[in-house]
Amino acid sequence: MTTATAMMSLLFDGKNLLGEGVLWCPRTQRLFWTDILGAALWSHTPATGATRSWPMPERLATFALTEDDDRLLLGLASQLAWFTFSSEEVTPICKVEADLPHTRLNDGRCDRFGRFVFGTKNDAPGLARCCSFYRLNTDLTLERLALPAVAISNSICFSPDGHIMYYCDSPTKTIRCCDYDTDAGTISNDRLFADLKEQPGEPDGSTIDSAGYLWNAQWGGHRVLRYAPDGSIDRIVHVPVAQPSCVAFGGAALDTLYVTSARESLSDAALRAEPTAGGVFQLRLPDARGLPEARFRG
How do residues 171-193 score in pLDDT, each as one tens digit? Answer: 999 999 999 998 888 999 999 99
Residue with more model confidence, 4 or 97: 97
From the list 9, 12, 35, 53, the residue with the least C-alpha distance to 262 is 35
Strand, helix or coil for residue 56:
coil
In a domain, 292, yes or no: no
Task: Fill in the amino acid letter for 243.
Answer: Q
The DSSP string of 160-213 is TTS-EEEEEEGGG-EEEEEEE-TTT--EEEEEEEEE-TTSSSEEEEEEEBTTS-
Whole-model pTM: value is 0.97
Average of per-residue pLDDT across 49-62: 98
From the list 54, 51, 50, the residue with the least C-alpha distance to 34 is 54
What pLDDT shows up at residue 59?
A: 99
Cα–Cα distance, 29 to 175 (Å, whole number):
30
In a domain, 295, yes or no: no
What pLDDT shows up at residue 10?
A: 98
Q: How many separate domains does the chain show?
A: 1
Q: Is the pLDDT of residue 7 over 80?
A: no
DSSP state of 296: B
Average of per-residue pLDDT across 235-260: 98
What pLDDT shows up at residue 57?
A: 98
User: What pairing do the DSSP bridges indicate for beta strands 2-3 and 233-238?
Assistant: parallel
In a domain, 297, yes or no: no
What pLDDT shows up at residue 127?
A: 79
In a domain, 293, yes or no: no
Task: Fill in the amino acid letter for 13.
Answer: D
In a domain, 133, yes or no: yes
Q: Kindly report the average pLDDT of the chain as a whole number.
A: 97
Residue 21 CB-density burial (10 A; 0-12 exposed, 13-18 middle, 19+ buried): buried
Please enumerate in sequence order all residues whose Cβ is within 8 A of that of 87, keeping only pairs 6 or more positions apart, or say none. none
In a domain, 291, yes or no: no
In a domain, 192, yes or no: yes
Structural domain harbouring 225: 2-284
CA 86 vs CA 48, 71, 90, 186: distances in Å: 20, 9, 11, 36
At 60-81, the pLDDT tens digits run: 999 999 999 999 999 999 999 9
- CATH number of the domain bearing residue 121: 2.120.10.30
What pLDDT shows up at residue 185?
A: 81
In a domain, 11, yes or no: yes
DSSP state of 146: S
Confidence of residue 126 (pLDDT cuts 50, 70, 90): confident
